[in-house]
Amino acid sequence: MALAYLSHPDCQLHDMGHHHPERPARLGAINDRLLATGLDMALHHYNAPLVRRELLEAVHDPAYVERLFGIAPEEGLVWIDDDTAMAQHTLQAALRAAGAAVLAVDLVMEGKASKAFCGVRPPGHHAEKGSAMGFCFFNNIAVAAYHALHSHGLQRVAIVDFDVHHGNGTEDIVANDERVLFCSTFQHPFYPHTGHACTAGNVVNVPLPAGTDGAGFRQAVEQSWLPRLEAFAPQLVLVSAGFDGHQADYMAQLNLVDDDYAWVTRRLCEQADRSADGRLVSSLEGGYELHSLARSVEAHLKAFFGEA
């Protein structure tokens, strides 16, 4: 099975400041772990292209896209909210991050890879139709979903999000679109304080209280996600892969471990094997403690090979 790994050096140039948790060292830690374990040699590497602007405008308001292009600074930082800023290389990195998700969809749809992982930043799942927030500028996974629907003629695409923070941007974009099933778990109450009251029929939100461990997470997946995924029978599975629910991560209060990420990845692969000819694309979202992030990504990728 060919596993594609998509990234680009531009994704490490985006820098919101030395003390910001969403920092270039995140990708460096992942890359070092893949090299140290030898997993890097099993991956088919691709450079992430710049996403085409019309693909961004398929999910984001054109005026919002124009605004981000317009305010991208040549030096210094332009703060969009209290924790989200554009620097000199941010726009380029964000275009690569969305472009990686698009190319990953093309690779699995064309049979050049069975599964793909986008090791990119900035993340995307908090980016709404018309606003950036939560370290996110373009919604990478939503761009991938609508590219699959529009360019590859799919009728059913699933997006699964196990980041510790609710993917409010993804929900904002896909809610009530019956072609997309959005399943998420997240700590609640917690930033961005959304997801607990959504009534859209194509959204399966499972709020988890602080302190939830792997057993509670797995029960939520088994009871809420898996039956809906089976009934929906997606032709492509997309994953917003956030690893900040790890017990070692200082950004939240869930108690997941590496094996929990391996377990949920295998469940999603099994669904992809049943309904999507194995096609699955995963894109990095959160995860801020470098050691647990790198190990969790390792577990995630090994599960693609059936090693979990």
Q: State which residues form the domain around 132.
A: 3-304
pTM over 0.95: yes
Residue 89's CB is within 10 A of a number of other CB atoms, namely 19
Total residue length of the chain: 308
- 10 Å CB burial of residue 108 (0-12, 13-18, 19+) is buried
Q: What is the pLDDT of residues 149-202, one digit of tens each?
A: 999 999 999 999 999 999 999 999 999 999 999 999 999 999 999 999 999 999
Confidence tier at 306 by pLDDT (50, 70, 90): confident
| 11-29: pLDDT as tens digits | 999 999 999 999 999 999 9
Catalytic residue among 126, 147, 165, 246: 126
In the chain, how many domains are there?
1
> In angstroms, rounded to a whole number, what is the distance separating the alpha carbons of residues 141 and 148?
11
The fraction of the chain above a pLDDT of 70, given in percent, is 99
Q: Give CA–CA dist 4/281, Å, rounded.
A: 9
Active-site residue, 300 included: no
Between the CA of residue 203 and those of 19, 174, 229, what are the distances in Å? 35, 8, 11
User: Angle at Cα 43 formed by Cα 29 and Cα 4, nearest 5°?
Assistant: 100
Q: Where are the beta strands (DSSP E) in 209-275?
A: 236-241
The per-residue pLDDT of the chain, averaged, comes to 97
Give the pLDDT confidence of 203-250 residue by residue, as tens digits: 999 999 999 999 999 999 999 999 999 999 999 999 999 999 999 999
Give residue-wise pLDDT tens across range 258-270. 999 999 999 999 9
Query: Which CATH number fits the domain that encloses residue 172?
Result: 3.40.800.20
